[in-house]
Amino acid sequence: MAQIQQFQKITQIRQSEYTQKNPENENLQDLIQRKQNAEYGLNGLDKQDISQIKRFAHPPIIVEKVMIIVCILLSHTFREENQNWSACQKIIYNMQFLGKLRALEIEKINDKQQQQLQYIHSISEEQGQRVSFVCQCFYKCIKTIVEIRESQYYKVKRQIQLIE
């Protein structure tokens, strides 16, 4: 028992030393934890929750904006001129979009998408929360994905890819 406690203490010390030497890693770990929490929220959504969003003929502006950002994230072909509710409904009509969002590979977000995703910064979590729980879940997921993609880790990774 004493050996286990000693091992845990040594591990904590090493992690602390590493974090002090690499503060950007702690930020990335925080972002990854937040992404896992956001995915947990998405996993709690079911068909009825998604139907609540899809039923809107004219959704609240926040719902429309958040769902358009989801569509930008999921479809490289979702163009700026098509960013309206009816185009978005075509993508979210298929329940597969939720699985695609969960399985999204952040590395595959291209620069044009990343630029369009910046709009998420103009929306607050409270705005999404006031409208609906579903909107808030999508907001948290997108916001975290955008912040991870903007992190120093991904900036360096992208530069390396461009060099290769």
* Domain ranges (residues) in the chain: 40-163
pLDDT tens, residue by residue, 97-150: 888 888 888 888 888 888 888 888 889 888 888 888 889 999 998 998 888 888
Q: What is the pTM of this model?
A: 0.75
Q: What is the pLDDT of residue 18?
A: 47
- How much of the chain exceeds pLDDT 90, in percent? 7
Buried b (16+ CB within 10 A) or exposed e, 105-136: ebeebeeebbebbebbeebeeebbeebbebbb
Q: Which fold has domain 40-163?
A: Histone Acetyltransferase; Chain A (1.20.920)
